[in-house]
Structure 1
Amino acid sequence: MSEPILEFDDVDIEYSTRGDNAVHAVNDASFAIEEHDYFGLVGESGCGKSTIADAIVGGLDENGEVTSGAIRFKGKEIQDYSEKQFNKEIRWKEISVIPQSSMNSLDPVMKLSQQAVEMAKYHTDLSKAEAVDRLRDLFDVVGLSESRIHDYPHQFSGGMQQRAIIAFSLFLRPSLIIADEPTTALDVIMQDQILDHINELKDDWNISMLMITHDISVVFENCDSMAVMHGGQVAEAGSTVDVFDRPRHPYAILLQNAFPDVRYPDRELAVIEGHPPQLREKPDFCTFADRCPWSTDECYDGAPDPQPIEGDESHMAWCVRAHEMEELAAEHLEKPPEASSILEGSR
């Protein structure tokens, strides 16, 4: 098996604050993204998803720091890269970002063609004409009229701006794209169109993608593999079908059962009570324990280690009761429809 394009290996990320305490935003996080893989990262707001994205491209705020563990891109550790190294070796060239807000990512006083020329000037040997031609080709890829490359951002609708951002994310032909809530603030029709364009890139461009979202349905329909986060910890990771059909972490189970399906309108949805903990200290317990209907004293005796599900190390759950969760959940919850049926119905 080839080496993963991106690996998180027991990564801790902290934000310093006034006083002695720090915010332990991400704790012992581990997952891997294979080449040509679309990987989804799911969880509630504040669970650490965007912090992980920022760490990958060296975009943490000044008070943020990777304090332990390793982030490897193509086998090379990058967590201690300087700003200069990130700019020279990683950003845009190897890893590009589709941010949540396209409006804040495009220069409002420059035509898009001018922005492409500026990007080419600092990162490539392309001439101005070649840079404009490349942007023209990419507009065609994302479904925008090539004639619009000389327009200003304000002349585009929100959905068109998001497509333009996708075009710019491809401009330097990166190996990995991070899509951080790529359909936020778009209506459902435009969301579907944007996701269609993102999916078309997979085979045409041979890229990998980290898709960050709170919308688990987006991951189920668009990603090959995924991880579920809660309270700064990875709760479960594996193929999308495995995590959907065989969830073994209580949070992943309840999250699924909170997901409505139009084909089963009478199915009772689960409610996840409570709130994630305030991470002022590194948690030495499962951060879902206080909200978990199946927690025991053992859940507070240390941060959980990953448990391979049925001997499959590609499917891991960070739960001390992972191997009995199927039976425990079956006693209390209605089993949701399987991923294979949902994916088939969405096509």
Structure 2
Amino acid sequence: MAEPILEFDDVDIRYRTDGDDVRAVNGASFAIDEGDYFGLVGESGCGKSTIADSIVGGLDDNGEVVSGEIRFKGEQIQDYSESEFNENVRWKEVSVIPQSSMNSLDPVMKLSEQAVEMAKYHTDLSRPAALDRLRELFDVVGLSESRISDYPHQFSGGMQQRAIIAFALFLQPSLIIADEPTTALDVIMQDQIMDYINGLKDDWDVSMLLITHDISLVFENCDSMAVMHGGQIAETGTVDDVFDRPRHPYAILLQNAFPDVRFPDRELAVIDGHPPQLRDEVDFCTFADRCPWAEPACREGAPPATPVAGDDDHLAWCVRAGEMSELAANHLERSTESTSILEGGQ
């Protein structure tokens, strides 16, 4: 069996401050297989973008991977220097579709010149070959090839985002990180952007890490996923597993906080409280103070990874994972039909 293209193995990431350190990511473990579209979902501030930054060496100066391993194609990269990230990872192997395209394109350079600069520093492509490649990629993302010599301000927000996708593909990377790629776009443009991203899967040999707070976006577009809360991975598995058989309380409540057109009368779940401020040692479940099913053991140590129904590919970091189907079904006020989401696979 082929090794994963990206692996996080018990990774801790901290930010140094004048006061106590911020423990942004704690014991994070997951893997992305080659050709897999992997979703990382969780509320703002849970550590998703910190994980993305750590993959390309983009942490702020006060950020540091303090323990664990990040492996890309089997090679440890968490201790790479700036030059090693530039030579071995950034753009050539891993590219990024950022949240804000308007802040990612040089406003005083034509897109064609930006492509030529990228080719100059990362490839041996000639100028004509680089421009031909950009034209090809503009066609892939639904932009007119005649627009490659325009400036960014001559594009709408949706067109700029598509241009960013073209640049992300320019060096034929193995992994694309899409960090909230539809933020600030209207719903029609969001759908178009996701269509372009999904189209890459059939036409390009590429894996993707899709980072979002919208769990429905992951359910619709990814193969596998991880749910994250308070700097900890809460649950991982295939999208079908996490959708049909969620076993971490946060994954269950997050899923049931979204409206479902199949059950218009269903009462939506409410996640009370706020994410924790992680200044002290994180030797507890970070969801414990918000969890309706918490017990003393939840605060007496970081939760272990528990296989769901004996499946090592579907893991929940919860001491009560084996009970959650019954506990949640009794707790949530749901119709008989919607209860099947939790009862599936028991």
Match of 1:78 in 2: 77
Report the AA paired with residue 4 of structure 1: P
Match of 1:231 in 2: 230
Report the AA paired with residue 18 of structure 1: D
Match of 1:139 in 2: 138
Match of 1:10 in 2: 10
Q: 1:34 aligned to 2:48?
A: no
Match of 2:252 in 1: 253
User: 275-284 vs 178-187, which deviates more?
Assistant: 275-284
Q: Distance in 2 between matches of 1:43 and 1:3?
A: 26
Report the AA paired with residue 297 of structure 1: P
Q: Distance in 2 between matches of 1:189 and 1:159?
A: 10
Superposition deviation, residue 283 in structure 1: 1.1
Counterpart contact for 1:27–1:282, Cα < 8 Å: no
Superposition deviation, residue 33 in structure 1: 0.1
Counterpart contact for 2:36–2:224, Cα < 8 Å: yes
Q: Distance in 2 between matches of 1:262 and 1:186?
A: 22
Q: Distance in 2 between matches of 1:90 and 1:256?
A: 34
Q: 1:315 aligned to 2:314?
A: yes
Match of 2:327 in 1: 328
Residue-by-residue CA offset, 1:260-303 (whole Å, 9 max, x unaligned)? 01232211000000011110012111000000000000101100
Residue-by-residue CA offset, 1:238-267 (whole Å, 9 max, x unaligned)? 000100100000000000110101232211
Residue-by-residue CA offset, 1:152-211 (whole Å, 9 max, x unaligned)? 000000000000000000000000000000000000000000000000001100200000
Residue-by-residue CA offset, 1:191-234 (whole Å, 9 max, x unaligned)? 00000000000110020000000011100000000000000000
Superposition deviation, residue 119 in structure 1: 0.2
Match of 1:201 in 2: 200
**1:148-297 maps to which residues of 2 (within 5 A)?**
148-297=147-296
**Is the partner of 2:31 in helix, strand or coil?**
strand
Superposition deviation, residue 336 in structure 1: 5.8
Q: Which runs of 5+ in 1 are unaligned?
A: 340-347
Match of 1:123 in 2: 122
Q: Distance in 1 between matches of 2:339 and 2:282?
A: 31
Output the aligned Cα RMSD. Answer: 1.0
Q: 1:97 aligned to 2:96?
A: yes
Q: Distance in 2 between matches of 1:244 and 1:58?
A: 32
Q: Distance in 2 between matches of 1:231 and 1:311?
A: 26
Cα distance change, pair 132–336 in 1 and its aligned pair in 2 (3 A): farther
Q: Distance in 2 between matches of 1:87 and 1:25?
A: 24
Q: Which runs of 5+ in 2 are unaligned?
A: none
Counterpart contact for 2:329–2:339, Cα < 8 Å: no
Runs of 4+ in 1 over 2 A off after TM superposition: 334-339
Report the AA paired with residue 12 of structure 2: D
Q: Distance in 2 between matches of 1:275 and 1:173?
A: 40
User: 253-262 vs 87-96, which deviates more?
Assistant: 253-262
**Is the partner of 2:322 in helix, strand or coil?**
helix
Counterpart contact for 1:257–1:336, Cα < 8 Å: no
Match of 1:22 in 2: 21
**1:291-306 maps to which residues of 2 (within 5 A)?**
291-306=290-305
Report the AA paired with residue 273 of structure 2: G
Q: Distance in 2 between matches of 1:44 and 1:266?
A: 25
User: 263-272 vs 218-227, which deviates more?
Assistant: 263-272
Q: Distance in 2 between matches of 1:327 and 1:220?
A: 23
TM-score by length of structure 1 reads 0.96
**Is the partner of 2:102 in helix, strand or coil?**
coil
Q: 1:52 aligned to 2:51?
A: yes
**Is the partner of 1:162 in helix, strand or coil?**
helix
Percent identity over the alignment?
A: 79
TM-score by length of structure 2 reads 0.96
Counterpart contact for 2:245–2:341, Cα < 8 Å: no
Q: Distance in 2 between matches of 1:313 and 1:275?
A: 31
Q: Distance in 1 between matches of 2:157 and 2:281?
A: 39
